[in-house]
Amino acid sequence: MKRVKNAHFGQWIDPSQTIQFTFEGGLVQGVEGDTVASALLANGQWVQSRSFKYHRPRGPLTLCGYDANTLVQTPVAPNLLADRLPAEDHLAVTAQNYTGSLHFDLSRLLDWFGRFLPVGFYYKAFFKPRGIWAWWEPIVRKTAGLGISNLSVKAPYNDKTYAFADVAVIGAGPAGLNAALLAANAGAQVTLVEQEPRLGGSMNYHAFEGNYETTKSARDALVAAIEAHENIDVLCSSTCNAWFGDHYLPIIQKSRLIKLRAKQTILTTGSSEQHVVFRNNDLPGVVMCSALDRLMRLYGVVPSAPVVVLAGNDLAYRTAFSSQDGGANVAAIVDLRTTYNDPALSDEAKRRGIALFQGCGIYEATQGLFSHGLSQVDVHKLDERGEVAEKLVSIDCGLLAMSAGFMPSYQLACQAGAVLSYDDSTSQFQLSNLPQGMHLAGSVNSVFSLDLVEADGRNAARQALSNLGIAPDSETGSAEDVNFTEQVNHPWPFLKHPKGREFVDFDEDLQIKDIINAARMGYRDIQLVKRFSTVGMGPSQGRHSALPTARLVAKTTDRTVHETGVTTARPPLMPEPLGLLAGRRFHPLRRTPLHHRHIGLGAQMTPAGSWQRPAYYGDPVQRTACIQAEVRAVRQGVGIIDVSTLGGIELRGSDAPEFMNRLYTFGFVKQPIGKTRYAVLTNEQGVVADDGVAARLGEYHYYVTATSSGVDRVYRDMLRWNAQWRLDLDIANVTSAFSAINVAGPLSRQVIESVDCSVDLSAQHFPYLAYQEASVAGIPARMMRVGFVGELGYELHVPSPLMGELWDRLLTSGKAHGIRPFGVEAQRLLRLEKGHIIIGQDTDGMTQPDEVSLRWAISSKKPFFVGSKSVDILSKSPLERQLVGFELGATSPQPKEGHLVIRNGHIVGSVTSCEYSPTLNKIIGLAYVHPEDAVPGTTVVIRTDDAVHAHARVVKTPFYDPDNLRQAL
Amino acid sequence: MSVHLDHIFESPLRGLSHEGDISIHDLTNRHRWGLRGQGAAEALRIQGWDLPEQPNRLVASINQSFVMALSQREFWVLDPHNDAADLAMGNDFTTDAYPLFCQSSHAWLVLKGSETSALMAKLCSVDLRPDAFNLGDVAQTQMALINCIVVRHDLAGDDVFSIFVDQSYAEYALEALLDARQEFL
Amino acid sequence: MKIMTCPLNGPRNISEFVYGGQVKAMPDHQNVSDTDWAHHVFYEKNDVGIVLEWWMHSPSSFWFIAERHNATDEIIRTYPADQLFKQRVDFVANEGES
């Protein structure tokens, strides 16, 4: 192959700038502007990969990333498309999917055994006898592998951004350029998305009306106007990879995912050129006409071996003439048709000295004796029914360019709900039933000649503008007439060969007989054909296989192509790196105002929902000792814990008491001001949903705590209930406004007194369950005497920005009393010793109040609370389980949360909490048991690790301080 | 209150500024308060405050302060030039105007620079470009998956975004902003 | 991603919203049969057509009503809850409550 660079060829390259990279270890010289594939082709390297199933050598087919024949590997990533991958100095590229070497692939033997690998082979062969797949799988996966992930590569920084547009134009060919320009001129904000590095689409490589000069100057004028336009954002080398609801378009631009929200979408996505199905149509050197155009016009690579063009339409003649103009030796045009749209083309072929075979096809392509590529094609006459007849001639050639027509790039439109219907007169699929705000133009809309494509683009923009409410002006004008009469698709481009290897799907190595057999086996539905044969499942996602498959299945099952249809198009359009989806990941993290103080004190932090909380303080090596020391401090001296994560809800207004009464199970109307009450919330189904402590601050003022994980839901439910009830109150989620600590232990009173507390803390003035507002260390605080850990204790809720100061003051003054911060691990044990349940841990989505002995917290005298009716109904039936306390000797196997409770061989419940209590020197826990076993003294069986049964004794809770004397001190 | 607030008031972001072409400033310790309820608008008007005509708008008002309307009946008064003055405990309310807790509950960040809307587009799905989001516009939305309030306003001659996030997410929000800012430095 | 229009905040990505279930009138809990109550709690309208739903805009905690077609997923309109719930709801007065 040689290179040309002039006004008409080699548009994208700069031969003065050379680039060197390696392919399979060998040095390759390319030029600036090359892709890896074009540089390899310029060096005569046609074989660039091996096929998936038979390991046949493969080379570029489309040269635009629409086939899987160019999947290559770099040190950092597998499965890159060589025809999209820019050639760069020092790049190390390797081929994929071979055993041995690319040119001598040992797995190539699979091709010779191909007749033993019928369609559906994998489903049939590897699953009997049972279990054999485990043996086969690694072998099959290696043979069918698509590259190797390099696990040591550091993930790149993948970015995401939102973007906005009035009009998104997807595809910057002649239709897209015209659409974008007209919409922008009328004042719309336009985003123009193009997969290739440059704008222009087919205008870059196709000689419309046989005139590249005029095509190019039209393209240059449009591109200049667009690049200078302030209303147009141009995104090149960018793929719009899906269409999601309300025109939400994920666009991949290198390592950035752009989430574009458009008001209108214009799809000018073009179409995929279709191949002719004949024997060995997959040989390296057999390409689409557009690929040959691209090779010469964009990269200036001129084939040195003779070229044959296999035409199913007039457009293929343009390719033949273009390549001759560029210096290629065009030996022949083989035209599948007997009649032309434009007889002038055959005259020109003759004038140019190109042999013309009309009403003929290529029956077989032959591989060179010493090369992997094409060396010869056999031209056969076709009879009037299109069947292969006598052989006319064999032609030596190194490149065959074919065009059987075009398939609209329908994927984005169909993802949005559009429908494909087959038009028998044009042998084309056409899109209809577009969703609101979506418009088509150009070859995706079955329009092919340049002036009509451009007009179609402008028409789409007019529709979009009209939907946006932008009135037409003189330039916008009114819709232009676009009639689609051009015949570009050949109706039956199949030349079945008794020896097969006429590929329908190159990705999956599927031949004509595979599709026919699948249909004959009863898989009539195209979706079933796909799943059984894997047609269209490869990386090119049916761009080339969908149309021939539909035609073959239709014929085999005696239906129309329209009835047969194509399989569902789903996102993504192109394979996308998972790293892009993960992107710059957001992990929202909540920190209390004391976060850094905890770290300074050596806390081991643990996640609690989105919060970070201290698990315990100290060296992880001495975890148990640390936790036990914290427990001891609380039981014997004084401890302090950050409970800022507790939810807080403020209820104010004349209906606040009534609202409390309706939401929570207890009675709250007569709750005295300055007192707290335990507050349980059931949902409408009568299930225990949350709990907390309600403090009455004033006649019309309550402050209620909620669980850390439950508060958002409780707050939302409160707002929703009151949107219906319309009671007069304000509901505020003050979780973050207030931070809280709990000072607990026999010495807690002394500690708080020592930091200048404005209220009398004696039991007489501030008894258990009382609430007071006070100034502590000069800081305004809501104080509650609550007993979650079962010792004398005070919970102090203060404005969050002041919490740091309060904590510092208490720790400083508390030093004399041996104050010790404790974490959630110690707190869990302390509360378990008191038998206090944690909603969500000791309850589940089915827990009714009676099961957890909360009947005392339900007022039976209220007319209503949320869940009251359901609780009444549930209480009529006998309980199926009950939560009880149990204990085991200190040396018993220790049950874990979730371990099962077994009764007469049946599962009756499970353990919800279990710890070793150093205070009691026992293992204690809570578990659901059969109600008959809920009597203290009963023995229940818990299945612990390794199926060891532990015989636990049901006991009354609290385990510790059963008369609750300590918390009331 | 017996202790001077300005000594003990702690912002999770410690009042720091992060300079650059886009600068990020912590105004958490600046004064703000709010009222919510049927009578909130009337109560503020009586005190002489100018109110936005519509929800999700902000207006400049007296004392170099701003009044932001989050709904027909919820208003925040933002006073960027003074330190936090009082921390409402929520007790003094009438039954149609309830004081809010925004001084304690939210962190206040200010974003200044020419490409702030491009930066915000990396975190927030609302179109905050100058053409779409006018001076005085307020968006109650999400940023890097957390709830926030974004306001575009003039601050001492600069066109800025004020961002309010739950104070427990303040450090997370700042980390997300600093990360998104990298490419604009 | 779908867009939903919040009556307070305007059109936003659906990810800013929380679904709150279908709008259902609560039967008189004191006179309803257990079966009818269970029906109210557990059953939702499931025939093709327009359903009334609760939605909340999360950043503003604003609850509103959406009319949505459950087959096409088209949101026909959204409006504040007070257009549907205009009256204060009361239950029978408390007696002897503690």
DSSP string, B45-84: HHTT----SSTTEEEE-GGG-EEEEEETTEEEEEEEEEE-
Q: Is residue A948 situated within a structural domain? A: yes
Token pair, residue B126, equals: 């609302």
- According to CATH, the topology of domain C3-83 is Folate-binding fold (3.30.2270)
Reading the block at residue A939, the tokens are 């023995």
Is the Cβ–Cβ distance between A275 and A502 less than 8 Å?
no
Domains of chain B: 15-184 (3.30.1360.120)
Q: Do C9 and B142 touch (CB under 8 A)?
A: no
Dist CA B125 CA A260 (whole Å): 10
Count of domains observed in chain A? 7
Structure tokens of A4? 């040309």
Q: State whether A756 and A713 are in the same domain.
A: no
**Mean pLDDT (whole number) for A875-886:** 96
pLDDT grade, residue B2 (50/70/90)?
very low
| A27 CB-contact burial (10 Å; exposed 0-12 / middle 13-18 / buried 19+) | exposed
Which of A468, A488, A515 is at the close of a domain?
Answer: A468
Is the pLDDT confidence value at C94 over 60? no
Query: ipTM for the complex?
Result: 0.97
Say which of B55, B70, B141 has its CB closest to residue C12.
B141
Which residues from chain A sit within 8 angstroms of residue C30, using beta carbons?
Answer: 863
- Domain at A799, CATH number: 3.30.1360.120
- What is the pLDDT, as a whole number, of residue B1? 43
Contact C41 A870 (CB under 8 A): yes
Distances in Å between the alpha carbon of A885 and those of A740, A848, A881, A933?
29, 17, 13, 11
Q: What span, in angstroms and rounded, lies between the C-alpha atoms of B47 and B36?
A: 15
* Among A845, A848, A840, CA closest to A867: A848
pLDDT computed for residue A913 by the predictor: 97
Considering the domain architecture, whether residues A757 and A637 belong to the same structural domain is answered as: yes
- Does C16 contact B71 at a Cβ distance shorter than 8 Å? no
A67, amino acid identity: D
Q: Which residue of A has its CA nearest to B172?
A: A589
Residues 6+ away with beta carbon under 8 Å from A891: none
Does the beta-carbon distance from A730 to B98 stay under 8 Å? yes
Closest C-alpha to A218, from A9, A454, A12, A449: A454
For residues A175 and A59, state if they share a domain: no
Nearest residue on chain C to B138, alpha-carbon basis: C9
* DSSP string of A821-847, one letter each residue: E--HHHHHHHHHHTT---TTTT--TT-
Identify which of A246, A719, A868 has the shortest CB distance to residue C2.
A246
Higher-pLDDT residue of A55, A635: A635
* Band (A487; pLDDT cuts 50, 70, 90): confident
> Testing the interface with B: which of C4, C5, C6, C9 to mutate, by most B Cβ within 10 A?
C9
Average pLDDT of chain A, as a whole number: 93
pLDDT at A111: 67
Residue C15 and residue B142: Cβ atoms within 8 Å? yes
Q: Are residues A887 and A961 in the same domain?
A: yes
- A174 and A260 in one domain? yes
Contact A322, A352 (CB under 8 A): no
Contact B126 C8 (CB under 8 A): no
Whether residue A833 lies inside any domain: the answer is no
Question: Is the Cβ pair C91, A864 closer than 8 Å?
Answer: yes
Q: Kindly report the pTM of this predicted structure.
A: 0.92
How many angstroms away from the CA of A250 is the closest CA of chain B?
Answer: 13
In this complex, which of A159, A650, A805 lies closest to B8 when CB atoms are compared?
A805
Residue spans of the domains in chain C: they are 3-83
Q: Do C59 and B142 touch (CB under 8 A)?
A: yes
Candidates A733, A862, A865, A877: best to mutate against C (most CBs of C within 10 A) is A862
Instruction: Determine the Cα–Cα distance for residues A731 and A745; give it in Å rounded to an integer.
Output: 34
- Chains with at least 3 CB pairs less than 8 angstroms from chain A: B, C
| Residue A287 shares a structural domain with residue A386 | yes
- CB count within 10 Å of CB B62 equals 11
| Cβ-Cβ contacts under 8 Å, A159 against chain B | 122, 183
Q: Which element (helix H / strand E) includes A748? A: helix A748-753
Q: What secondary structure, in 3-state letters, does A302-369 show?
A: ECCCCEEEEECCCHHHHHHHHHHHCCCCEEEEEECCCCCCCCHHHHHHHHCCCEEEECEEEEEEEECC
- A776 shares a domain with A712: no
**Chain A interface test: which of C4, C63, C83, C84 (most A C-beta within 10 Å):** C63
The DSSP letter of residue A596 is H
Does B121 contact A161 at a Cβ distance shorter than 8 Å?
A: yes
- All residues at 6 or more sequence positions from A777 whose CB lies less than 8 Å from its CB, including other chains: A755, A756, A757, A805, A806, A809, A810, B3
CA neighbor of B88 nearest in space, from B31, B4, B167? B31
A827: in domain: no
- CA dihedral defined by A150, A154, A159, A160, rounded to 10 degrees? 50
Name chain C contacts of B71, Cβ cutoff 8 Å. Answer: 8, 60, 62
Does residue A34 belong to any structural domain of this protein? yes
Based on the domain organization, do A39 and A143 belong to the same domain? yes
Least Cα separation, residue C60 to chain B (angstroms): 6
Domain-embedded: residue A371: yes
Tokens of C69: 């077609």
Closest CA to A494 of A591, A387, A572: A387
pLDDT at A1 over 80: no
Residue A39 one-letter amino acid: A
Q: Nearest CA to CA, how far is B103 from chain A (Å)?
A: 8
Q: Which residues of C touch A661 (CB under 8 A)?
A: 94, 97
> CB–CB of B140 and C13 under 8 A?
no
Contact criterion met (CB below 8 Å) for A954 and A933 = yes
Question: Last residue of some domain: A155, A182, A207?
Answer: A155
- Residue of A716, A729, A868 to mutate, interface with C, max C Cβ within 10 Å: A716
Residues of A in contact with C37 (CB under 8 A): 869-870, 873
Mutate to test the interface with A, among C5, C41, C53, C72 (most CBs of A within 10 A): C41
- 8 Å CB contact between A363 and A388: yes
pLDDT of the residue at A144: 58
C11 interaction partners in chain B (CB closer than 8 Å): none
Closest-CA distance, A687 to chain B, in angstroms, reads: 29
Which helix (H) or strand (E) covers residue B113, if one does? Answer: strand B106-113
A81-108 average pLDDT score: 82
Residue B142 to residue C58, Cβ atoms within 8 A: yes
Q: What is the pLDDT confidence band of residue A580, given thresholds at 50, 70 and 90?
A: confident
A540 vs A520: CA distance, rounded Å:
25
Q: Residue C97 and residue A724: Cβ atoms within 8 Å?
A: no
Query: Residues A361-388: what's their mean pLDDT?
Result: 90
Chain B contact set for C60 (CB, 8 A): 70-71, 140
Q: Between residues 150 and 179 of chain B, which touch chain C (CB distance below 8 Å)?
A: none
Do A371 and A431 lie in one domain? The reply is no
In whole angstroms, give the CA distance from residue A664 to residue A692: 10
Put simply, the answer to whether C97 touches A733 (Cβ < 8 Å) is no
Inter-chain touch A779–B146, beta carbons under 8 Å: no
The answer to whether residue A131 scores a pLDDT higher than 80 is no
Query: What tens digit of pLDDT does each residue of A136-182 get?
Result: 666 666 655 567 778 888 877 889 999 999 999 999 999 999 999 99
Domain assignment present for residue A651? The answer is: yes
Residue of C nearest to A670 (CA): C98
CA distances from A963 to A916, A957, A969 (A): 21, 10, 12
**Res B139 pLDDT > 50:** yes
A29 forms beta bridges with A20
Give A917's strand partners: A922
Q: Compute how many other C-beta atoms are within 10 angstroms of the C-beta atom of residue A86.
A: 16
How many Cβ pairs closer than 8 A exist between chain A and C?
80
Residue A589 burial by Cβ neighbours in a 10 Å radius (0-12, 13-18, 19+) = middle
Q: Which residues of B touch C57 (CB under 8 A)?
A: 140
Once rounded to an integer, what is the mean pLDDT over residues A725-733?
A: 97
Do the Cβ atoms of B87 and A801 come within 8 Å?
yes
What residues of A are in contact with residue B176 (Cβ under 8 Å)? 586
Residue A399 structure tokens:
């490149």
What are the C-alpha distances in Å from A2 to residues A42, A48, A302, A327, A600?
A: 7, 19, 5, 9, 70
SS3 state of residue A411: helix
Q: Is the pLDDT of residue A675 over 70?
A: yes
Per-residue confidence (pLDDT) for residue C96, from 0 to 100: 44
Domain stop point among A133, A155, A177 = A155
Domain-embedded: residue A947: yes
CB-based contacts of A67-73 (< 8 A; 24+ apart in sequence): A67/A506, A67/A507, A67/A540, A67/A543, A67/A544, A68/A506, A68/A507, A68/A538, A68/A539, A68/A540, A69/A506, A70/A36, A70/A37, A71/A96, A71/A97, A71/A146, A71/A147, A71/A539, A72/A23, A72/A36, A72/A48, A72/A96, A73/A147, A73/A148
Furthest CA-CA distance within chain B: 50
- CA-CA distance, A801 to B11, in Å (whole number)? 6
Nearest Cα neighbor of A53 from A102, A4, A122, A101 is: A122
Peptide bond into A129 cis (omega under 30): yes
Domain that holds residue A713: 647-733
Contact B105 A736 (CB under 8 A): yes
Residue A889 confidence class, pLDDT cut points 50, 70, 90 = very high
Name which of C2, C20, C34 is nearest A720 (Cβ-Cβ). C20
Residues A303 and A396 in one domain: yes
Do A357 and A333 contact (CB within 8 A), yes or no? yes
- The residue that leads in pLDDT, B127 or A385, is B127
Give the number of other Cβ atoms within 10 Å of residue A718's Cβ.
23
Q: Side-chain half-sphere of A134: how many Cα atoms within 13 Å?
A: 3
**List of chain C residues whose C-beta atoms are within 8 Å of the C-beta of residue B140:** 9, 57, 59-60
For residue range A496-516, what is the model confidence (pLDDT) as tens digits? 999 999 999 999 999 999 999
- pLDDT at B137 (0 to 100): 98
To the nearest whole Å, the CA of A707 is away from the closest chain C CA by 19
Helix (H) or strand (E) holding A452: helix A450-468
Q: Residue A726 and residue C95: Cβ atoms within 8 Å?
A: no
CATH classification at residue A892: 2.40.30.110
pLDDT of residue C97: 43
Q: What is the pLDDT of residue A125?
A: 61
Average the pLDDT over A365-372 and give the result: 84
> Is C35 in CB contact (< 8 Å) with chain A?
no
- Percentage with pLDDT > 70 across chain C: 94
Residue C25 touches chain A, beta carbons under 8 Å: no
Contact C15 B125 (CB under 8 A): yes
* Residue whose C-alpha is closest to residue A512's, from A500, A521, A523, A524: A500
